[in-house]
Structure 1
Amino acid sequence: MRVLVVGASGFLGGEVCRRAGSAGWSVVGTCHCGEITVAGVAARRLDVTDRSAVRALVAEVRPDAVVSTPYRYDDWTVTADGAAYVAVAAAEVGARLVHVSSDALHAGRPDPYADDDPPTPVNAYGAAKAAAETAVRAVDPGAALVRTSLILGEGSKQIQLSRDALAGRATLFTDHVRCPVDVTDLADAVLELVENAYAGPLNVAGPDAVSRAELGLLVAERFDLDAAGLTTTTSAAAGQAGPGEVRLDCTRAAGLLRTRLRGVRELLTPS
């Protein structure tokens, strides 16, 4: 299997490369500004907003599959247009496409979101992720669209944010609820999807729904940190628009995939 990982210098993209390489796959990874540190990966520079460059690279590599992970929170062209360009290029060479999406395209509600629930974005980033999905599905109806949540693991931004809040250097929202997933579980799920024919959106996240503040408390317990200094607020008090409670129903993924998606409480229980 020859796989092209677009966004291989990112947290998830790097783990996908690592685990694909361990499985004996031939891996080409792209990056824009960062560096690819995974051994055995053929690294290539790529600006996903350059449509011609994307098409040229994919045509040169001719992968069996493309895993598309790049995004930039405040850049529509990277998150939405880049996803469309990757989809077009993958389709032109007949490659299987697994596009990584986000729970950020939902508005938030108390009830869990099913895999096929349509996007209801409430901020620019959510709208960009929704637009990316729309483009990918129009170009390649057979592509898998992985809707995931907060990604945890060694070196993750989410763990560091919790550490910062425990030290009084950041603030965690009590009203933002998500379903965190371990980066290794998510990478394994993505690689499973490379090898099957699943098409359309698929929720791939952990089974535990927690607020960002609750996540901070779990991090404090896991790393034996003082929880008394945890700084919290609400998104309304902070004046930040965005999804509130976003729970993903991952029943379909549990039945489809061999990979067990562990919950945050299992992941962060002190050993």
Structure 2
Amino acid sequence: MRILLLGASGFVGGGLWTALSARHEVVGTFAARRVPGLVPLDLRDERALAGLAGGGGFDLVVHAAGLVPLEAAEGDPGRAHALNVRPVEVLLDAVRTSAAKVVFLSSDYVFDGTRSQYTEDDPRSPVNVYGRTKAAAEDLLLADGTHLVVRIPMVFGRSPWADTFLARMAAPTTAAQTDLVCAPLYLPSLGPALAGLWDRAGVVHYGGGEVVTRFELMTRVQRALGLPTRVVPVRDADIHPDCPRPPRLVLRSIRHALLGPDLDTALAHLAADVRG
């Protein structure tokens, strides 16, 4: 299969590149972070995006690019729309004349965090700009009826070019929220799961196998890897006063049986990977 992977230089995109390029012909893109072998692409360059997606002979377009930091989206909604919503419109127009299917990586941030868990049938109610842009992009894709939206939660692990998760733990102390509950997803599990889902259309969830607070996640990562940082418990409002986050985001699916690994399994694999 010939795949276009938008955002291959990012944290999640890099993990997908590792998994998918082992079995498929993958053309990946980068924006600010230059990576040899990847194609430069600014999502706001509509002509370049349309030409690449519509004229590259792709079977599948995996869209893992956009403005990800929540604070950046909250501080500049116009930029968030330009990077997270408008490119989806351009992409859909480009692939209408080809056989390419779009697989869009969305987020649990389309929910408000007031339920114990969320399935694909639950109503969306985003509480921040990032979540609203993801919901708007979802609407565009789902209106077509042939493409796939895959909602994922917080992702952890190593990535080849943007190792942002472990970079959070490079300082002497690492703040982690005790009041945010999630079902974190181990990055290496995403590529194989995506390959098992991309024949579908509509929306699916793919979540992690264990429900924990962010403080528990970071503490267990620190212990498993023997990192010198000290994980410090905090309340989310103390470190993110201007960008609301839903208090409990647990993704579960009623459309398939796939689920990411539990933390012990994931951390054993991560520790072996880090230590070589």
TM range (shorter): 0.7 to 0.9
Q: How does 1:157-236 map to 2 (within 5 A)?
A: 157-162=164-169, 164=171, 167-168=172-173, 170-194=174-198, 196=199, 198-225=200-227, 229-236=230-237
Other-structure match for 1:55: 50
Q: How does 1:3-22 map to 2 (within 5 A)?
A: 3-22=3-22
What SS does the corresponding residue of 1:185 show, helix, strand or coil? Answer: helix
Other-structure match for 1:243: 246
Matching of residue 266 in structure 1 with residue 265 in structure 2: yes
Q: Determine which of 137, 145, 163 is the counterpart of 1:141.
A: 145
Q: Which runs of 5+ in 1 are unaligned?
A: none
Q: Distance in 1 between matches of 2:158 and 2:112?
A: 29
Shift of 1:110: 4.0
Shift of 1:70: 0.5
Q: Distance in 2 between matches of 1:162 and 1:210?
A: 18
Shift of 1:262: 0.6
Residue type matched to 1:93 in 2?
S
What SS does the corresponding residue of 1:109 show, helix, strand or coil? Answer: coil
Residue type matched to 1:189 in 2?
A
Q: Determine which of 101, 104, 110 is the counterpart of 1:105.
A: 110
Q: Tell me if the contact between 1:100 and 1:148 (Cα under 8 Å) persists in the aligned partners.
A: yes
Matching of residue 34 in structure 1 with residue 33 in structure 2: yes
Q: Tell me if the contact between 2:207 and 2:250 (Cα under 8 Å) persists in the aligned partners.
A: no
Other-structure match for 2:100: 95
Q: TM-score, normalised by structure 1?
A: 0.85
Moved >4 Å (runs of 4+): none
Q: Distance in 2 between matches of 1:175 and 1:232?
A: 9
State the Cα deviation string for residues 107-144 of structure 1 (Å, max 9, x = none): 10241001122321101111111111111212x31211
Shift of 1:187: 1.4
Say how many residue pairs are matched: 255
Other-structure match for 1:124: 129
State the Cα deviation string for residues 177-220 of structure 1 (Å, max 9, x = none): 111111111111122333x2x11111111121111111121112
What SS does the corresponding residue of 1:268 show, helix, strand or coil? Answer: helix
Residue type matched to 1:200 in 2?
G
Shift of 1:225: 4.2
CA-atom RMSD, angstroms?
2.2
